[in-house]
Structure 1
Amino acid sequence: MEEGSSILSEADPYIHTLGAILSLPVIVYPIFFASLILLLLSALISGSEVAFFSLSPKQLESCKNSNKPNSVSIVRLLSNPKLLLATILILNNLVNVALVTLSTYATWEISGRDNENAVFILTILVTAAIVFFGEIVPKIYATEKNLSFARMTSRVLYIASTILKPFSWFLMIISDRLERRFQHSGYDVSMNELKQVVDMTTTGNEDKELLKGIVSFGTKTVKQIMCSRIDITAVDVEDDFHQLMDKVNKCSYSRIPIYNETIDKIEGILYVKELLPFIDRDENFEWQQLFKRNPFFVPESKKIDELLRDFQQKRVHMAIVVDEYGGTSGLITMEDIIEEIVGEINDEFDDDEGLEFKRLEKNLFTFEGKTSLNDFCKVVKVDPSIFDGAKGESESLGGLLLELFSRIPNSGETYDFKNFRFTVVSVDKKRIKSVRVLIRDKSVYPPQADVSP
């Protein structure tokens, strides 16, 4: 009897616990299971936000090439990321509110509606469960397994986005209006201010120039950095093989445009490496069959950052720049674009004689008139925007002086513009060939010359 009573006494706590559980109101059990389901849904929704918006371009490309329903849903959802984000936020808040409401109701049923301490403790426990199991854990997992997590939740989110679309659109409209209202009070930093920040925060000249190139990279157009029409080395399709090889040997370029009758009618690009097996042929060799690559044409106004992406996608290194009438305006290469960030790239064929300027003294230079304003500003270390009000449509130093003089000047004429004194050294009937530039003390800025016609 003593042994039996001792066993019963040891089992007493478990019996009391089981009795307490069995004595709970019947409605508490479904609420408990519903709360667990809601917590699981909260975890899936929170993790899906990280999963969808951390997909790499390669993963998105694989989804686009897949016919599986989950992959198709991912592509459709990410076609409107704002709508997807609004759907996730609405769902997450609905689930969390439902979870807190059910938990509070279950606590009232167990401890009574007047037990404030129980409700307070429950609030802390539910908040901790939502933060840990509904936010932290799923987002960590979704970061590691973003594609599989996105596929797992894509169908549910796609259905939810369709059902909740009116509410999502309403949320997006409010968000857009608030964004437009407060965007003026945010940080509106101009390009000049960014460059000033670079000047103040970097000490090394190389690092400073590299950062300046990155800052201004997206603002430059093809016209600003292209090789102008007059400097293009091209070959007439009617030239014989010896004439072609003579031009190839003189220019040392790896790619040469081929035109028919006039340079405005460029028909293709010849790769010099394709001539190597035929260098011993005579002048009657029909080399025209070798250039099979169609030229890539771009407008003058195209941004160079967009052109760089086009070069990468099309796997080309050269583009023909055309004006508004379709005529050839210039030529631009991959090297020209990269030089806007890293500076001049010189190979074994580049030498000092090929430079378009010469430094005579510390603040005295001679430039060829065809030198682009972009390159001129790099040499003299000034912001290109200093000439915005004076250059008109010109992008070369000679063009700037034509705008300033409003005519073709005579040799020896000078023009003062801000802290620059331009002296025309050589000129012909059509263009300014050479200019001498004196840079006066930058602390002294004379009144800007009148540049109106």
Structure 2
Amino acid sequence: MTAPDAATAYDFTFWLTAGGIVALLVISAFFSGSETALTAASRPSLRARADRGDRGAGAALEITEDSERLIGSLLLGNNVVNISAAALATALFTRHFGDSGVALATLVMTTLVLIFSEVLPKTYAITLPEVVAARVARPVRLLTRLLAPIVSLVRLLVRGILWLFGVRTDPEKQVFRIREEIAGALSLGQSEGTVAKEDRDRLLGALDLGNRTVEEVMRHRSQVEMIDAEASPDAILTSVLASPHTRLPLYKGERENVVGVIHAKDLLRAVEKVVRGEDGNLASVRELDVLKIAMKPYFVPETTPLDEQMREFLKRRTHFALVVDEYGDLRGLVTLEDILEEIVGEITDEFDIARESPLKRTETGDFLVDGTMTIRDINRAMDWQLPDDEANTVAGLVIHEAQMIPTEGQVFSFHGFRFEVVTRKENRIAKLKIRPL
């Protein structure tokens, strides 16, 4: 095949075809940039823009709800445009350069598509994702509605093929997971130095409340300070005044049998009423009926999520609950302060007894840890990633992994750490040495 002469080389057909190729490349750039912007744009940022009256941001939020349909429409449009542009270029170059025009058209179109329809628009879109997403959202929304029947057919075909290979897809599954997006952004910001570790821990702690249960933060019953309701009133008064806590459970007979909760203020008001009465004196305190002063105990299941329990505390206008298991047996107690500490860290006041730090670094580089220290606390303090799925405390993790109660001096290695049992009291691991491997 010979090349055409100069008279017919640049006729109307040539310019029409060349113009068509340029237009298709521009449309391809629009599709590529739109795909990048709409998938990279932050939904919280789009929501903030929409709340300020940006209709484009509102449209972007709407179409990104169904990400599979969005991506399918953009990919369908982009592929049709690119294939059409390549076909026109092949016809144009073949007409002018004969058989060698196919290779030349491939080379030229690959270069043009790569630079002007892929890299350039995607770089611009990733630089200003929310701005670009708001601008392209409305035409893309129209496109997705026009192509909806074809995209639905393609989705059905794709799911059928995946089903043949044992892959099950969930049509309702959201690609944009807000919690994971926030957590990832906070961790990335902390690693880059733009977010302080304390700020990251507080925000992640608030996000995690729905995934953690009362059992994970409660004070175990062996550590709960309780008062015998059958003790003399003056002995009870002495115990309440000596305690750093304002609320104390009352039990009868055995500690499992909790019959009430005494508040220090309620007890002091009752004492004042007795002492300042007509026949009142200090000896009258012995006649107090503590059970009449005590509040009814509030029991909660150990599986209650922390965010739900916090709402219950606020609703009931109380912040003290006794935790029971599925059989109704007492497991411990939880307070509103325990839940807040999951967000802000340890809270102390002037009445709290100064305690030795549960985590110390030794001269050898090991960390001396109390067995009762929670895995969450040590992860938070040291920025470690010890798993807390099977156990709440460090001692519990060692026992779970060892499948036994270790003796003093035993050493284990798992999850990238070396654990040495330093002290054991009866069946409880009291102290451990931990070293990252």
Q: TM-score when scaled to structure 1?
A: 0.52
Whether 1:419 and 2:416 are equivalent positions in the alignment is yes
Structure 1: any 5+ residue segments left out of the alignment? 1-177, 441-453
Q: Of 225, 232, 237, which aligns to 2:217? A: 225
RMSD: 3.0
Q: Which amino acid aligns with 1:379?
A: A
- State the partner residue of 2:184: 196
Aligned residue-pair number: 259
- CA gap of 1:358–1:181, structure 2 versus 1, over 3 A, is closer
Corresponding position: 1:274 with 2:274: no
Aligned to 2:290: 288
Q: Distance in 1 between matches of 2:384 and 2:219?
A: 21
Distance 2:253 2:350 in 1: 33
Question: Among residues 381, 384, 408, which one is paired with 1:382 in the alignment?
Answer: 384
The change in CA–CA distance for 1:293 and 1:382 in structure 2 (over 3 A counts) is: same
Cα distance in 2, alignment partners of residues 344 and 301 from structure 1: 23
Alpha-carbon contact 1:213-1:340 (below 8 Å) kept: yes
How far apart are the structure 2 equivalents of 1:382 and 1:408?
A: 24
Q: Shift of residue 362 of structure 1?
A: 9.4
- Structure 2 unmatched runs, 5+: 1-155, 157-168, 276-281
CA contact (8 A) 1:224 1:374 kept: no
In structure 2, relative to structure 1, the CA distance for the partners of 1:341 and 1:363 (3 Å cut) is farther
Quote how far apart the aligned CAs of 1:248 are: 2.5
| Cα 1:215/1:362, change in 2 over 3 Å | farther
Give yes or no for contact 1:224–1:373 (8 Å, CA) kept in 2. Answer: no
CA distance in structure 1 between the aligned counterparts of 2:302 and 2:410, rounded to whole angstroms: 31
**In 2, distance between residues paired with 1:424 and 1:228?**
22
Give the superposition deviation at 1:383: 3.9
Contact 1:257 1:269 in 2 (8 A): yes
**CA 1:247/1:364 → structure 2, altered by over 3 Å: closer, same or farther?**
farther
Task: Give the 3-state SS of the residue equivalent to 1:415 in structure 2.
Answer: strand
Specify the code of the residue in structure 2 equivalent to 1:234: M
Structure 1 contact 296–319 (Cα < 8 Å) conserved: yes
The aligned runs of 1:32-431 (5 Å cut-off) are: 182-184=171-173, 186-188=175-177, 191=180, 194-201=182-189, 202-277=194-269, 278=271, 281-282=282-283, 284-350=286-352, 352-360=354-362, 364-383=366-385, 386-388=387-389, 391=390, 394-431=391-428
The answer on whether the counterparts of 1:363 and 1:439 sit within 8 Å (CA) in structure 2 is no
For 1:187 and 1:361, the matched residues in 2 are separated by 47
Partner of residue 91, structure 1: none
Cα-to-partner distance string for 1:14-68 (whole Å, 9 max, x where unaligned): xxxxxxxxxxxxxxxxxxxxxxxxxxxxxxxxxxxxxxxxxxxxxxxxxxxxxxx
Structure 2: how far apart are the matches of 1:315 and 1:265?
Answer: 24
- Alpha-carbon distance between aligned partners in 1 of 2:261 and 2:218, rounded to the nearest angstrom: 17
Give the CA deviation at 1:313: 0.9
Residues 265-289 of structure 1, C-alpha deviations (whole Å, 9 max, x = no match): 1111100112324288457343424
Mapped partners of 2:293, 2:360: distance in 1: 38
Q: Report the Cα offset of residue 351 of structure 1.
A: 5.4
Q: Deviations over 1:408-432 (max 9, x none)?
A: 2111111112222211111132211
**Cα contact 2:186–2:195 (8 A) shared by 1:** no
CA contact (8 A) 2:229 2:291 kept: no
How many Å separate the matches in 1 of 2:353 and 2:209? Answer: 26
Contact 1:414 / 1:424 at 8 angstroms: preserved in 2?
Answer: yes
From the superposition, tell whether residues 217 and 361 of structure 1 become closer, same or farther in structure 2 (CA, over 3 Å). Answer: farther
In the superposition, relative to structure 1, how do residues 373 and 244 fare at CA in structure 2: closer, same or farther (>3 Å)?
A: farther
Q: CA deviation at 1:317?
A: 0.8
The secondary structure found in structure 1 opposite 2:257 is strand
Percent identity between the aligned chains? 30
Name the aligned partner's letter for residue 400 of structure 2: E
TM-score by length of 2: 0.54
Name the amino acid aligned to 1:197.
A
Mapped to 1, the partners of 2:187 and 2:238 lie a distance apart of 47
